[in-house]
Amino acid sequence: GRCDIVFLPPCFPIVAMENPCLTFIIASIMESSEFLLIDVIHEIAHGWFGNAVTNATWEEMWLSEGLATYAQRRITTEAYGEAFTCLETVVRLDALHRQLRVLGDNSPVSKLQVKFDPGVNPSTLMNLFTYEKGFCFVSYLSELSGDCRHFDHFLRDYILEFKFKSVVAQDLIDYFLRYFPELQDAAVTQREGLEFERWLSGCGPPPFEPDLSAGATLIGPVQDLCKLWGSSAPPDRQAVTPFDLSTWSTFQVVLFLDRMLDHSPLSHEVMGSLSGSYSSLFDGLNAEVQIRWLQLVVRNTFYPDLPRIRSFLHKHTSRMYTVPLYEDLVAGVMKCIAVEIFYQTQQRLHPNLRRTLQQILFPSSSVTANQNSPAPPTVAHPLPSSSPTPAATATASAAGTTA
């Protein structure tokens, strides 16, 4: 069959969206061949998991996203190697645990079966747990089957059994146990600490994560470089010379920057050395790399790289590349800069994104009071056309602001 791709303008609020035989992707993702690859494969996987077989309720979105993520990683393992897939998975699972640290292990949104009670915002159900905890559960089922290729056959037969139907988690589990009757005889659903009920209804991290040691050749250098930069003083230049980031994959650079964000706050001296060593390189890389570097800049109040933030937010107007930066700007001491950039770019933003940013910037504003209103209006600029920017001589203590 035929599968086409439509590249959408930068203001499209969603990075990628599956449609039967037609995938929507924002054009800015083309800057990263690796992220483009992952997004296209993931959306194609939704042709089976999500479109051919659909979750019956919004409360079990993992039946779509978790299975599609598992299928995506099976495809990349076969096509690009296990190390590549392990690296990408580490990046995503890191993000999952990072979100857990913010929300807490008892957060109800960390369940695979989130109860859609009155007052629950449906958008909260589209989170990393839906994707990554769902992926871990499917990976656990594959582990129980004893052979990932045998499990591939199970997934194909699952699609044939339920195609063009809506399912709940129990449908998948019942079919799995019928397909592998020896597992039902072994009462795998009740294994201590790994009970299926705990997977579905329990809060917190996944009870099981797949073995990712095959990615050590790609992940190891990132961990070593993070150790060098994670101290209070910049590392010796000779120590970092062997690490040539220009030869690294996008996911390696992203993992490095994510881990440095975890190390924040960093001293002003370390930020200056990082900028001198890598910021020009990051300028030539894709938006996935740039936004992480700019988050480091904001969270550590590193004013010398402030022009890069302005340039980035004027160029990128999708939700994924704007909301995290605006949240960090508002959480720190740079809210005035965020407000100024918003007023300069608001007419190029999608109405839903404009509303979200107004909520971040002006939480008590009457403009955002009505969530069911149509497109929010643009707002007159309350600042001078060239509002003053903070001094570029930030002290080391000022660089310690975190989100």
- Residues 174, 232, single domain; the answer is no
- Residues 111, 228, single domain; the answer is no
Average pLDDT, the chain: 88
Give the H/E segment covering residue 182: helix 181-185
**Token couple for 317:** 């107007």
42 annotated binding-site participant? yes
Which of 201, 229, 246 is the last residue in one of the domains? Answer: 201
- Residues 241, 365, single domain; the answer is yes
- Residues 232, 126, single domain; the answer is no
- Check residue 231 and give its pLDDT: 86
- Residues 137, 183, single domain; the answer is yes
Residues near 280 by beta carbon (within 8 Å), at least 6 away in sequence? none
**For residues 206 and 132, is the Cβ–Cβ distance under 8 A?**
yes
Q: Answer yes or no: is pLDDT of 356 > 90.
A: yes
- Residues 288, 183, single domain; the answer is no
- Check residue 207 and give its pLDDT: 97
Residues near 103 by beta carbon (within 8 Å), at least 6 away in sequence? 109, 110
- Residues 228, 86, single domain; the answer is no
Is residue 34 domain-resident?
A: no
Cα–Cα dist 181/237, whole Å: 59
- Residues 329, 358, single domain; the answer is yes
- Residues 249, 112, single domain; the answer is no
97 annotated binding-site participant? no
259: domain range? Answer: 220-400
Question: Which residue has better confidence, 232 or 155?
Answer: 155
Give the count of alpha carbons within 13 A of 50, CB side only.
22
- Check residue 376 and give its pLDDT: 53
Q: Which residues are catalytic?
A: 43, 131
pLDDT digits (tens, 9 = 90+) for 273-322: 999 999 999 998 999 999 999 999 999 999 999 999 999 999 999 999 99
pLDDT digits (tens, 9 = 90+) for 206-228: 999 999 999 999 999 999 999 99
314 annotated binding-site participant? no
Count of the separate structural domains present in the chain: 2
- Check residue 403 and give its pLDDT: 36
Q: Answer yes or no: is pLDDT of 382 > 90.
A: no
| Cβ count near 18 (within 10 Å) | 19
pLDDT digits (tens, 9 = 90+) for 170-192: 999 999 999 999 999 999 999 99
Which of 133, 167, 201 is the last residue in one of the domains? Answer: 201
CATH number, residue 362: 1.25.40.320
Number of H helices, E strands in the chain: 19, 5
| Cβ count near 72 (within 10 Å) | 25
CATH number, residue 111: 1.10.390.10
Over residues 110-123, mean pLDDT? 81
- Residues 236, 192, single domain; the answer is no
Cα–Cα dist 351/20, whole Å: 26
- Check residue 390 and give its pLDDT: 33
Torsion (CA) 204, 208, 190, 100 in degrees, nearest 10 = 0
Is residue 388 domain-resident?
A: yes
- Residues 77, 184, single domain; the answer is yes
CA-CA distances (angstroms) from residue 360 to 123, 178, 322? 16, 49, 11
